[in-house]
Amino acid sequence: MHGIRTAAQARAWLDRQGKSVQQFAREHNVDPATTYQVLSGRKKGRRGEAHKVAVLLGMKDGVIPGECAPVEAGVQPAPS
């Protein structure tokens, strides 16, 4: 990622994809109300589902527990 998005940038990103907040939430199996709260700033995305939403929207740099971490450009995963 090339930087952290603001809430306005995250909304614009969804608009460019033609996705509603509801559709984004369904696709990522997160609560739509939590998604709206993160976008409005009522939740900061520090932990739990709000953290997951903030990371998925690009509003926060972080790892979502239980999911594979993205591989950085040019870095190969260690052989198994």
Tens digit of each residue's pLDDT (9 = 90 or more) over 6-22: 999 999 999 999 999 99
Per-residue pLDDT at 56 exceeds 70: yes
For the entire predicted model, the pTM comes to 0.78
Number of domains in the chain: 1
Domain membership flag for residue 17: yes
Q: Which tokens is 11 given?
A: 């909304």
Q: How many other CB atoms sit within 10 Å of the CB of residue 14? A: 17
Domain membership flag for residue 33: yes
Domain membership flag for residue 18: yes
The pLDDT, as a whole number, for residue 68 is: 61
Give the residue numbers spanning the domain of 38: 7-57
Per-residue pLDDT at 26 exceeds 70: yes
Q: How far apart are CA 34 and CA 46, in angstroms?
A: 12
Domain membership flag for residue 53: yes
Domain membership flag for residue 66: no
Domain membership flag for residue 75: no
Domain membership flag for residue 22: yes
Number of residues written out for the chain: 80
